[in-house]
Amino acid sequence: MAAERVLIVTGAGRGIGASIARIGAREGFSVCVNYARNRAAAEGVIADIRNTGGHAIAVQADVAQRDEVKRMFETVDRELGSVTALVNNAGITGPLTAIEDITDAPLREVFGTNVDSLFWCCGEAVQRMARKHGGKGGTILNVGSIAARNGGMAGMVAYATSKGAVDSFTLGLAKEAGPEGIRVNCLRPGTTETDIIIPLGGADLAKRVSAATPLGRLGQPDEIAEAAIWLVSDKASFTHGAILDVSGGR
């Protein structure tokens, strides 16, 4: 039997995505935990959800690739039911690189994961959610970054630019999809204590960012996830085209 509330979270094997998947399951969603390579991490999230009585599946797909995204959504259709909430969480920073040293391959990878994936995933979601396609509406949340506002760290121009595109994409899609019963919003986390900060400076980065943050610390994945699940829940039923910073005031 198809579930009434189906949540897809991209990049959900670790960090913020894993927390969104767990909390989404706690709030009653059947969850697709998407991952690109680390199946063991995704299976760990699935185990956590099932151990608390939730329903979840893990689906491997590189969301920068349109055909893999299509396969993921078709798998969810068969195993859970049609998606009602999508969180586009998958994202990469790329290497710290001065602008004059940026090369094609890492630039393409950053934009493929952080921007192209929005088009492929939202395209599939709208096909299922939009009233004009026989859908019942739904919610889409794009996970951006405060780097879109502050430019990020030195050496992260590509990342900050890609996250600026997430803001623009969200605002444009909100105008397009709202009349179809689809709410679209963006969540911009500040620096959060996950594995993603290790290659960017680890403990030293955490110390510097904490000192520059009014709350005096990094965010925790669950703090970001709670805001994400609120935005895709009925409690946020009149929140649309919004960009919410969860950044400790930074």
Q: What is the DSSP string of the chain?
A: ---SSEEEETT-SSHHHHHHHHHHHHTT-EEEEEESS-HHHHHHHHHHHHHTT--EEEEE--TTSHHHHHHHHHHHHHHT-S-SEEEE----------GGG--HHHHHHHHIIIIIHHHHHHHHHHHHH-GGGT---EEEEEE--THHHH--STT-HHHHHHHHHHHHHHHHHHHHHGGGTEEEEEEEE-SBSSGGGGGGTHHHHHHHHHHHSTTSS-B-HHHHHHHHHHHTSGGGTT--S-EEEESTT-
Domains and CATH numbers, the chain: 6-246 (3.40.50.720)
Model confidence band, residue 197 (pLDDT cutoffs 50, 70, 90): low
Averaged over 125-137, what is the pLDDT?
Answer: 98
Q: pLDDT at position 208, please?
A: 79
Q: Which of 35, 120, 159, 169 is catalytic?
A: 159
35 belongs to the catalytic site: no
Is residue 174 within 8 A of residue 130, CB to CB? The reply is: no
pLDDT band at 250 (very low <50, low <70, confident <90, very high): confident
Give the pLDDT of residue 167: 98
**pLDDT band for position 144 (cuts 50, 70, 90):** very high
